[in-house]
Amino acid sequence: MGIGRAEQVQVFASKLFRKGANDRFAPVAEFEPMNLRWANSRDPNNPEIFAPGISRNFGKHCDLCSISDPANPTDHHGYVGQCVGTLQLEVAPSGDRNRLPPAEYVVEIRIGAANANPVTVHVQINIKGPWSPDQETMFRDHLGTQILSTLPPGVTRNNE
C-alpha cells in the first residue's frame, strides 16, 4: 500500500458471472465491461467516473448495484413482484444489460489510480427476488453481498 494520496481513481466492472443450475458460475456474455459510478455524484446524468483523489486512510463510496421495491413504477422486465438489481455503470447499456434478475452473481472489479497499480477484487451478489420494506429483513433474507477471498467454481481471475 502506498503512503500518499491516490490520484485519478477509477473502479471498473470488468467481468460478470452468474450461477447456473449446476452450481457453477459462468461468464455473462451480454455484460459490457465499464466503469462504475462514484456515489453521490452531483449530476446523475453526468456521473463522476474518476475520483480526483483519495487520501490515505480515507475512503470514497462507489455505487455497485441498486435494488428497488418492485412496487416502484420502474420496469422490471417480466419480474413482476420481484426485486431486480441494476449495476451502476457509467452509462446504461442498450438492452438493459446492466439488469440483474434474481440469481447469484460475481462481479470482478478492478480498482486503479494514475499513481498506483490496479487491484482486482470479486464481489458476490445474491438477489433472492422477494422484497421487504424492512432493511434488516431485506439484507438478512433476500439480498446478500460479500467480498470473496476465494473464487467459486467457474469464476476466473482477470488475467486467466
In a domain, 157, yes or no: no
Q: For residue 20, is pLDDT > 60?
A: yes
Find the radius of gyration of the CA atoms of the chain: 16
Q: For residue 159, is pLDDT > 60?
A: no
Q: For residue 1, is pLDDT > 60?
A: no
3-state SS assignment for residue 129: coil
More confident residue, 27 or 96: 27
In a domain, 158, yes or no: no
In a domain, 141, yes or no: yes
Burial class (CB in 10 A: 0-12, 13-18, 19+), 111: middle
Burial class (CB in 10 A: 0-12, 13-18, 19+), 5: middle
Cα distance between residue 89 and residue 35, in whole Å: 6
pLDDT at residue 153, as a whole number: 83
Cα distance between residue 125 and residue 1, in whole Å: 27
Q: For residue 121, is pLDDT > 80?
A: yes
Cα distance between residue 138 and residue 26, in whole Å: 26
Q: For residue 76, is pLDDT > 90?
A: no
Binned at pLDDT 50, 70 and 90, residue 48 comes out as: confident
Indicate the number of domains in the chain: 1
From residue 101, give the alpha-carbon distance in Å to each of 15, 55, 96, 115, 157: 17, 36, 11, 37, 24
In a domain, 35, yes or no: yes
In a domain, 153, yes or no: no
Note the pTM of the prediction, 2 decimals. 0.87
Helix (H) or strand (E) holding 123: strand 116-127
In a domain, 155, yes or no: no
Domain of residue 111 covers 6-147
Q: Say how many residues make up the chain.
A: 160
What value does the mean pLDDT take over residues 15-33?
95
Closest CA to 109 of 66, 65, 52: 65
In a domain, 99, yes or no: yes
In a domain, 67, yes or no: yes
